[in-house]
């Protein structure tokens, strides 16, 4: 477990380094897979760092839970050996005595370990899946490092597949799978049976080895990840300015428009843009302005409440990055 904790710290350092590098690298935020609002890639990485910090705390607490032992006899009653022997032996091993045991250390402790590794593996998979999405051809905002001469596909020479993060996704499934037998091992008969023994010969070594490998592979992905800011900006503009809709929506009530009416005004112009995108129309007009801005400026009801300057100001990227420094101070303490 000490090795895994060191792995977590290693990965956190790599994430932090890349987060600082891309603190203000603009990209589109997505919910349900659909473009939402501008964010930065640094913020995405800050989320990952903060999530790993929780796992680090959980693993350190788990170390306290799992680092116990016992020499309390066949039934845990110390009938044939004094408590002092157990206390002395545990001190020599750097462990704490199980306060009240039976024939074995209670398996809820081991279940805690398995679930701690499983939940962390789920987070690592979350990061890997996002990298896989960003590497998709139609997104192509980031990709795993691809070395000269490396092969992506044995059949299609042009391909650059995200094989490392796909591998990590599979490994995470295995690590989560080990949590089930660990939890089922808690319910031993009376003072002990050996139904737990056979499973632990598999899941204990495999969980540690697989987690260690997965962490180093994810660290390699993050440290060497190729990030494409130009493509991020290109994708941010794919929807012709629709990513600024909420800003317009929030400005209208300040001008005396009800929230419901403001939503109707903003949405009807957004729907015009979606229709034009469906028809293959360029999202930037001949004057270099986004389709959505054009529709908003032409909306008489909207213009009666907001000036051209106020509408144009809603399309300012700086509005969406104004709190990045403050967020980083909260995360990277």
pTM for the model stands at 0.93
C-alpha to C-alpha distance for 144 and 163, rounded to whole angstroms: 8
C-alpha to C-alpha distance for 150 and 225, rounded to whole angstroms: 16
User: Would you please indicate which residues are annotated as catalytic (active-site) residues?
Assistant: 32, 153
C-alpha to C-alpha distance for 61 and 305, rounded to whole angstroms: 56
Question: At 27, is the pLDDT very low, low, confident or very high (cuts 50, 70, 90)?
Answer: very high
**φ/ψ bin of 78: left (φ > 0), alpha (ψ from -120 to 50), beta (otherwise):** left
C-alpha to C-alpha distance for 195 and 191, rounded to whole angstroms: 12
Summarize pLDDT for 32-43 with one digit per residue, the tens: 999 999 999 999
C-alpha to C-alpha distance for 187 and 321, rounded to whole angstroms: 51
Return the half-sphere exposure (C-beta side, CA atoms, 13 A cut-off) of residue 247. 21
With H, G, I as helix, E, B as strand and everything else as coil, classify residue 80: coil
DSSP letter at 167?
A: H
Summarize pLDDT for 156-204 with one digit per residue, the tens: 999 999 999 999 999 999 999 999 999 999 999 999 999 899 999 999 9
Average pLDDT over residues 270-293: 92
The domains of the chain, with CATH numbers, are 2-70+105-234 (1.20.200.10), 241-317 (1.10.40.30)
Packing angle between helix 108-135 and helix 163-177, nearest 10 degrees? 160
Which pLDDT score is estimated for 42? 98
Mean pLDDT for all residues in the chain: 96
Q: What is the number of other CB atoms lying within 10 angstroms of the CB of residue 78?
A: 16
Summarize pLDDT for 55-66 with one digit per residue, the tens: 999 999 999 999
């Amino acid at each position: 477990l000490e090795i895994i904790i060191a792995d977590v710290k290693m990965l956190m350092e790599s994430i932090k380094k890349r987060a600082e590098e891309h603190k203000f690298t603009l990209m589109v935020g997505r919910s349900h897979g659909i473009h939402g609002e501008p964010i930065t890639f640094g913020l995405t990485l800050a989320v990952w760092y903060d999530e790993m910090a929780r796992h680090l705390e959980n693993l350190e607490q788990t170390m306290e839970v799992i680092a116990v032992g016992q020499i309390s006899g066949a039934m845990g009653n110390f009938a044939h050996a004094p408590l002092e022997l157990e206390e002395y032996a545990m001190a020599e091993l750097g462990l704490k005595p199980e306060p009240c045991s039976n024939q074995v250390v209670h398996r809820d402790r081991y279940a805690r370990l398995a679930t701690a590794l499983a939940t962390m593996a789920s987070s690592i998979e979350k990061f890997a899946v996002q990298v896989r999405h960003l590497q998709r051809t139609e997104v192509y905002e980031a990709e795993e490092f691809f070395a000269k001469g490396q092969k992506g596909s044995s059949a299609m020479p042009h391909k650059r597949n995200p094989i490392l993060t796909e591998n990590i996704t599979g490994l995470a499934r295995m690590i989560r799978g080990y949590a089930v037998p660990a939890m089922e091992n808690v319910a031993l008969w009376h003072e002990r049976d050996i139904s737990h023994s056979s499973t632990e010969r598999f899941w204990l070594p495999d969980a540690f080895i697989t987690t260690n490998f997965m962490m180093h592979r994810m660290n390699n992905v993050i440290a060497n990840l190729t990030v494409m800011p130009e493509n991020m900006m290109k994708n941010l503009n794919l929807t012709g300015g629709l990513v600024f809709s909420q800003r317009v929506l929030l400005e209208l009530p300040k001008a005396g428009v009800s929230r419901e009416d403001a939503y109707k005004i903003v949405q009807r112009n957004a729907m015009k843009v979606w229709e034009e995108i469906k028809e293959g129309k360029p999202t930037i007009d001949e004057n270099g302005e986004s389709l959505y801005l054009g529709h908003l400026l032409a909306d008489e009801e909207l213009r009666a409440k907001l000036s051209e300057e106020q509408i144009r100001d809603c399309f300012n990227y700086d509005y969406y990055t104004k709190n990045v420094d403050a967020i980083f101070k909260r995360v990277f303490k």
